[in-house]
């Protein structure tokens, strides 16, 4: 794939997609500007990525150029950069789940069948489909993965649905010579990344974590959706498991979204507390609060992952490419500490 454009499909034109698309155009025209973590990944620059297709189920976005749809309700992500007309109109997407009450009260769904999605992706010669739909829509995410596979496209799963961590799904992608990575995107500097980083720092100083908790308060549709009890419990389990990967021995840890505050928009406040033991059992207590933006936190990671996948495909890899999944996601097939996962990724794709 080197030497040509990476054609991607945006699956779910929400706040996360808005950040990715704005960042894509911003850094394509301003490559020297600060904030881009890895200017070159796998030999590809951000300007080598091209939006080839986009789908969503919300009637307020369907039929609009991507440049307009990313700023349509219910999106709340700030407008950082004026996107030129892309020529890509948002098409109807898949919906194979019943919407929970929180989503049903917000989204005005329009949908199409899986076969037409396959045809749409194939006609637009999509290399990589990036799944950014709302968490908890497991049947829909799996259907998108199947559609991408049938259309000959690799797949990024930013949701907690088990796709890249499913042996059955990864084998199916591998059999077709395609790549799948995921699951559940880990923000560049969100609560989970910070939590894991602080645990690693404590250990590097010979201090043993004993207890910690992470509580999140946020706005936006994704946080509202997470208020649904079953999904909230599942997300809590995924976050907690990711944090525990930083230590060999167990310690008490709780991590999860606690509440939705409408006026926070796409912003999130994370509260962390650590209890730790040092020399002769001396106590340490650390309290940290982090204010971040979900969309901004996703941008660098997704642009890196897409370019790394293009390089991996060029190198003949298929199935779940673990060094990419370990770098960018919370729920993975193998345990890797965050610093180790980043070093491995950079040594392979950012030299």
Asked if 309 and 276 sit in the same domain, the reply is: no
Asked if 47 and 111 sit in the same domain, the reply is: yes
Residue 115 CB contacts under 8 Å (≥ 6 apart), including other chains: none
Asked if 88 and 11 sit in the same domain, the reply is: yes
Asked if 30 and 75 sit in the same domain, the reply is: yes
Q: Which of 274, 293, 312 is the last residue of a domain?
A: 293
pLDDT attached to residue 243: 65
pLDDT-derived band of residue 241, with 50, 70 and 90 as boundaries?
low
What is the arithmetic mean of pLDDT over 335-348? 94
Q: Which of 293, 310, 335 is the last residue of a domain?
A: 293
If you count them, how many residues does the chain have? Answer: 351
Tell me the C-alpha distance between 155 and 185, whole Å.
Answer: 13
Asked if 265 and 321 sit in the same domain, the reply is: no
Tell me the C-alpha distance between 333 and 338, whole Å.
Answer: 14
Instruction: Estimate to the nearest angstrom the gap between the alpha carbon of 104 and the chain centroid.
Output: 23
Q: Give the bridge partners for 260, in sequence order.
A: 218
Asked if 234 and 247 sit in the same domain, the reply is: yes
| Domain-embedded: residue 144 | yes
| Domain-embedded: residue 48 | yes
Asked if 123 and 150 sit in the same domain, the reply is: yes
The 10 Å Cβ neighbour count of residue 173 is 23
pLDDT-derived band of residue 17, with 50, 70 and 90 as boundaries?
very high
| Domain-embedded: residue 1 | no
Find the domain containing 120 and state its range. Answer: 6-186+296-349
Q: Which of 293, 322, 338 is the last residue of a domain?
A: 293
Residue 259 CB contacts under 8 Å (≥ 6 apart), including other chains: 217, 227
pLDDT attached to residue 155: 98
pLDDT per residue as tens digits for the range 201-215? 998 999 988 888 888
pLDDT attached to residue 242: 64
What is the arithmetic mean of pLDDT over 173-195? 93
Asked if 55 and 170 sit in the same domain, the reply is: yes
Number of domains in the chain: 2
Q: What is the CA radius of gyration of the chain?
A: 20
| Domain-embedded: residue 207 | yes
Asked if 316 and 281 sit in the same domain, the reply is: no
Tell me the C-alpha distance between 11 and 141, whole Å.
Answer: 9
Prediction pTM value:
0.88
Look up the CATH number of the domain holding residue 338: 3.40.50.720
The yes-or-no verdict on residue 137 having pLDDT over 50 is yes
Instruction: Residue 16: name the closest of 300, 325, 306, 299 by CA.
Output: 299
Look up the CATH number of the domain holding residue 285: 3.30.360.10
Asked if 229 and 313 sit in the same domain, the reply is: no
pLDDT attached to residue 218: 79
Determine contact, residues 143/126, Cβ cutoff 8 Å: no
């Amino acid at each position: 794939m080197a030497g040509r454009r990476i054609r991607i499909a945006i699956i779910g034109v929400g706040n996360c997609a808005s950040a990715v698309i704005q960042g894509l155009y911003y850094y394509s025209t301003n490559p020297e500007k600060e904030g881009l973590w890895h200017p070159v990944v796998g030999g590809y620059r951000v300007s080598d990525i091209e939006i080839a297709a986009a789908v969503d189920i919300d009637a307020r976005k369907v039929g609009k150029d991507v440049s307009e749809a990313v700023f349509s309700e219910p999106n709340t992500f700030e407008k950082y950069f004026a996107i030129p007309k892309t020529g890509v109109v948002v098409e109807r997407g898949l919906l194979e789940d019943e919407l929970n009450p929180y989503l049903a009260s917000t989204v005005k769904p329009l949908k199409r069948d899986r076969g037409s999605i396959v045809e749409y992706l194939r006609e637009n010669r999509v290399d990589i489909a990036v799944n950014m739909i709302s968490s908890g829509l497991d049947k829909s995410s799996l259907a998108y993965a199947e559609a991408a596979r049938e259309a000959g496209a690799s797949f990024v799963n930013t949701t907690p649905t088990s796709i890249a961590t499913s042996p059955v799904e990864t084998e199916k992608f591998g059999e077709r010579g395609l790549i799948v990575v995921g699951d559940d995107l880990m923000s560049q500097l969100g609560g989970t990344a910070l939590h894991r980083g602080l645990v690693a720092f404590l250990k590097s100083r010979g201090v043993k974590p004993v207890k910690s908790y992470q509580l999140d308060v946020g706005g936006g549709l994704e946080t509202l959706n997470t208020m649904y009890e079953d999904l909230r419990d599942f997300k809590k389990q995924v976050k907690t498991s990711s944090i525990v990967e930083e230590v060999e021995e167990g310690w008490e840890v709780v991590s999860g979204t606690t509440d939705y505050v409408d006026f926070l928009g796409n912003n999130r406040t994370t509260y962390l507390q650590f209890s730790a033991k040092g020399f002769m059992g001396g106590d340490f207590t650390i309290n940290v609060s982090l204010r971040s933006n979900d969309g901004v936190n996703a941008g660098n990671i997704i642009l890196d992952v897409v370019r790394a996948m293009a390089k991996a495909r060029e190198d003949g890899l298929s199935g779940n490419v673990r060094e990419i999944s370990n770098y960018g996601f919370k729920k993975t097939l193998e345990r890797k500490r965050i610093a180790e996962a980043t070093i491995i990724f950079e040594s392979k794709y950012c030299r």
